[in-house]
Amino acid sequence: MSRLVLTGSGRIRHNELGVIHYVVRSQAKRFVARWKTGELHLSVPPRVTEDEFYKALDELKPRLLPRKPADNKYYLGQVIDCGEFKVIIESLETNSKLIEARRCTGGWALYVPASLDISSPAVVIAIGRVLRKIAAAEAPAILIPRANELADRIGRHPIGWTISKGQRTLGRCDCRGYIALSCMLVFYEQPLRDYVIYHELAHLSEMNHSPRFHELCNHYCQGREQELVARLKASTLPV
């Protein structure tokens, strides 16, 4: 039994989860894990022993494994279908090292210079960055009209809508009555976009997550709140 307390940061390899980067954070209250470019990043509370660390991994594993990214997150010829538009990843013979996107029929062509290794972490990060720019460009025309349509449907309108770039926070309603929707929503299927919109509209009446809030949100979602929350949690972004 190991009583050695973890400190600082480090990198280990797990048989099932793969490479894990961990950082002990003095303000952390619990373990927080997220996938980034195919590898797991873990925030660890202070005064955790090695045994407690590996026990926590075993407890987190059932939730993390289904979300583990494929080894090759992107590949040439890949089509990311967002409904209103598509993004196709293609190779381009060029002296440039820059990954770029150009509008094309039906959406966007994302060009990766032929000299780059599409599976390398640096290229994966760069492709994700370009995809986020595409999402930001497409989001206003896709999300705002739908949000207004759903607001009309329930007769509840915010003071205004804005588009944010949050990847983990998909929606936010402030105390003034403004609602921000993340541009990342364009990568989700329509029922999940609608759920996030309804969730924020419910906050116009209930600025918390009380039973009354969930009752209202569930009503807006026609009794499907729990189903849609589960589907949203199980979904992964292409960035």
Residue 59 has a pLDDT of 92
Return the pLDDT at 19. Answer: 84
Does the predicted model carry a pTM greater than 0.85? no
> What does the pLDDT average to over 192-197?
98
In angstroms, rounded to a whole number, what is the distance separating the alpha carbons of residues 221 and 54?
Answer: 39
Q: Which of 2-6, 57-61, 91-95 is predicted least confidently?
A: 2-6
Strand ranges, E, within 68-149:
79-81, 86-92, 100-104, 107-113
What angle is formed at CA 115 by the lines to CA 113 and CA 121, rounded to 5 degrees?
A: 85
Average pLDDT estimate for 53-59: 92
Q: Give 234's pLDDT tier (boundaries 50, 70, 90).
A: confident
For 136-158, the pLDDT digits (tens) are 999 999 999 999 999 999 999 99
Rg, Å, the chain Cα set? 21
Give the pLDDT band (50/70/90) at residue 110.
very high
Decide: 178 and 158 in contact? Cβ < 8 Å.
yes
Please, which pLDDT band fits residue 13 given cuts at 50, 70 and 90?
A: confident
